[in-house]
Amino acid sequence: MSEETPMMKQYKQIKAEYEDTFLFYRLGDFYELFFDDAVKAAQELEITLTRRGSKNEQDIPMCGVPYHSAEHYISTLIERGFKIAICEQVEDPKTAKGVVKREVVQIITPGTVMEGKAIQEKENNFIAAMYPFSDQSAAFVKADLTTGETAGAILNEDVNEWKREILRSDIKEMVVPSFFEIDELTVSSMVFSEEDDTDLQPEFKDLCSQDSNDKLKTAFAILTNYFKRTQKRALSHLQPLLVYKPHERMQLDLHSRRNLELTETMMENKKKGSLLWLVDQTVTAMGGRLVKKWIEEPLLNTKEINNRHSLVQSLLDHYFEREELRDRLRHVYDLERLAGKTAYGNVNARELVQLRRSLQELPDLFNLLAQLNNSYVKELTERSNDFTDLRQLLEESLTNDPPISITEGGLIKEGYNEKLDEYKEASRNGKEWISRLEQQEREETGIKSLKVGFNRVFGYYIEVTKANIPYLPEGRYERKQTLTNAERYVTPELKEKESLILGAEEHSTNLEYQLFLEIREKVKSYLHPLQHTARIVSEIDVLQGFSLVSERHQYVCPKFSQDRTLSIQDGRHPVVEQVLDQGDYVANDIGLGAAEEMLLITGPNMAGKSTYMRQIALISIMAQAGCFVPALHAQLPIFDQVFTRIGAADDLSSGQSTFMVEMLETRQALSMATPNSLILLDEIGRGTSTYDGMALAQSIVEYIHNEIGAKTLFSTHYHELTSLAETLDKLKNVHVRAVEEDGEIVFLHKVEQGKADRSYGIYVAKLADLPDEVLERAETLLHHFEAASGTESSTRRETTHEPETTPSLYEDDTSVSSSTKNEGAEQLALFQTGQELEHQEKEKKEDKAVESVLKDLKQADILHMSPIEALETLYKYQQTLRS
């Protein structure tokens, strides 16, 4: 086997230390990748894969990306969950003996990326560390390197709590010790990394307050040690570890976040159409990140909530001040991330100009806030800093429109540094002499096409076409370069000026670079005051946005009850009312006093039961986040948790059926809810047979009523359950009203007291434009089933105020036995009716397709199907009949 070159030996030695990364190996103006890295990168980045070969190196796959545009390629790989090791030349090639020394200067991972398209303006980029302990607890610490934000909590052994914290923060990368079992934490596409060093380094000890116990310090240690190992630089912008308790904020599990569409829609996973889309009226990136956090973590402390509400009201009362405030905020850049990039050492002059412009807005911004005369604003801004010294430094030092590169000059204003001004003056005077030289030489030689030019290889030159060469004076012009149609010359005077100009420019550029580094170091001393001010500005931005959306949509300030009263007059779903035509949304009330805990909601499909339930939850979340709410009046308890079981879908990835998913989500509510929680359960039990479903639904209602006592909204198509209002004193019946006009159903979307009289299932199917023959046949079969059962179905009875006679399924053994007997009798009657119908069809010699449909219909529980189930069933029948 042939011997490897020194360069490939160096590459392999470095790559061996970073096997789980793409190694971007610097060669001149390119980052090169070799072997498997090249094959995978070429595929992911859609770039050309080539081969490197010589007598010593045969058939080595390779690809490369330009150094100056590498950020785009790195961002693409990061978005797809890969890690990148940046390997740079760390010595001058001119002085190197042998192969140039190279080292990995940074490892970029999904959780440590600082810039590029992987960083979303209004989203945090969190990386977290988790360390488990023998007592079944775990320390959880998260950080956003782009802002310096850090926070940590002790979590109990409940894996659901672990997942909730991970999902709530949208963790991009998780750092764990090598012995940690990660399978149970695989809840998203986040990347896992390992770190076993648990010794907290001295430079990070001051970031752990007295509230940080040894467990949190352990998790903080493995996270910061991972940073040191991968980032290889000081991280002075990291903020002190904020210790929090998960239950100090309203708890919203994954299902509730999804069902309520807090930050993204269920169907398309987009912000538009979510609650965040509606209430995010922020104008700064910082405010955009904070409002998302507030929506996902509503407060439990009434005083803190009222502080936010008071400022929203003040901003409503001061319209002109609020509008001017919004204009000022539009000129404030992302102070958090500018501070982070400064500490990280990759901030450029343009970004420091953005910082300067932001600081110039602060005095007027704080003066506006003072005019509100609000006590909470005074509390927020009492320790604010207007950064007079820093603003003056940046105003005196940096040009207004500097280039992106910090190594090519054009950064520093004249007057800031005397030596730099001398260099610039020498360069400017030399260039003026050069511009006069061209005109002078033309006049002396008579050659009008003569011109003076410059390139980086040959410097300054005089160019003359070959036809004009005979007109040049002898002895003064020295040939420098021959072109096809021209010759390039220099003169002694031109050489002298070139040396002066280029020397001045080189000195000027080098000095500007050094001055810029000094300015950046001075800015670093303001990092923590900048971060504090950023928090103030972002909170003001969120609250002015709440004020704007409250004014625009006529929201009201909610009041909080001490006795757990839940009373909302003319409540609306905040998002649904915006997507409907103006005036189409029907507002609804809810009233649950201290002694009333549950609403049992009946009514036809598509009448608005689910929307009604969701709007109660969203109004509560908005109120506790600090926003006003869509209602005429609202008095609310403080809810510690919200649980929802709305909608149904198979979890194919884990092999769980619709019914199993439904039961698991219901179990979560039953096991975790407290009397201070809000529970929304929609059509529990519909995923199984009628009597199983009804029994489960009633048992769950009774358990919540008797054992938990949480405020609960329970919608159902089991009309028999409405009789529970007679035995459960804290339960009330309400229904969503619909009327039948000329054979058509009209949904009124109005919630009224009492129970519904009909389900209107076939009418809903008619709205879906199923074939008339299918609908007519369904009506015929429904009448047969009702006749066979010996009485008209409860879903077909007219409205009555007489109590239902169905006994409580779990009242005593006799009731259960009676239910079983009734079930057997009804099932037998249905079976016999099916035989009769089947016999009639055979007598009429209808085709086998109709027989198949009838056979299925005989077993179908039409009266208690959900809309989706009914549509799927009828579609299947339609296809059978057509075939």
Binding site for ATP: residue ranges?
603-610
DSSP reduced 3-state for 606: coil
Instruction: Name the strand (E) or helix (H) holding 131.
Output: strand 126-132
Residue 462's region, left for phi above 0, alpha for psi from -120 to 50, else beta, is beta
Of 870, 875, 871, 881, residue with least CA distance to 841 = 881
Per the structure block, which two tokens stand in for 194? 């390992």
DSSP reduced 3-state for 490: strand
Query: Could you tell me if 617 and 636 are in contact, meaning their C-beta atoms sit under 8 angstroms apart?
Result: no
CB atoms within 10 A of CB 776: 11
Residue 81's region, left for phi above 0, alpha for psi from -120 to 50, else beta, is left
Per the structure block, which two tokens stand in for 711? 């405020």
- Write the DSSP string, 739-783: EEETTEEEEEEEEEES--S---HHHHHHHTT--HHHHHHHHHHHH
Strands 566-571 and 633-636: antiparallel
Residue 53 is classified by DSSP as -
CB atoms within 10 A of CB 839: 10
Query: Could you tell me if 479 and 489 are in contact, meaning their C-beta atoms sit under 8 angstroms apart?
Result: yes
Which residue positions form the known binding site?
603-610
Whole-angstrom Cα distance, residue 878 to residue 770?
Answer: 8
Distances (CA, A) of 249 to 244, 297, 430, 621: 9, 6, 67, 11
Query: Could you tell me if 172 and 110 are in contact, meaning their C-beta atoms sit under 8 angstroms apart?
Result: yes
- Report the half-sphere exposure of 738 (CA within 13 A, side-chain side): 23
CB atoms within 10 A of CB 197: 14
Can you point out the beta strands (E) in 167-308?
Answer: 173-176, 191-194, 242-243, 251-252
Of 323, 320, 324, 356, residue with least CA distance to 338 = 356
Whole-angstrom Cα distance, residue 523 to residue 45?
Answer: 37
Location of structure tokens 């770039």: 47
Query: Could you tell me if 426 and 501 are in contact, meaning their C-beta atoms sit under 8 angstroms apart?
Result: yes
Whole-angstrom Cα distance, residue 384 to residue 534?
Answer: 10
- Report the half-sphere exposure of 349 (CA within 13 A, side-chain side): 25
Residue 414 is classified by DSSP as T
Query: Could you tell me if 626 and 312 are in contact, meaning their C-beta atoms sit under 8 angstroms apart?
Result: yes
Whole-angstrom Cα distance, residue 350 to residue 338?
Answer: 11
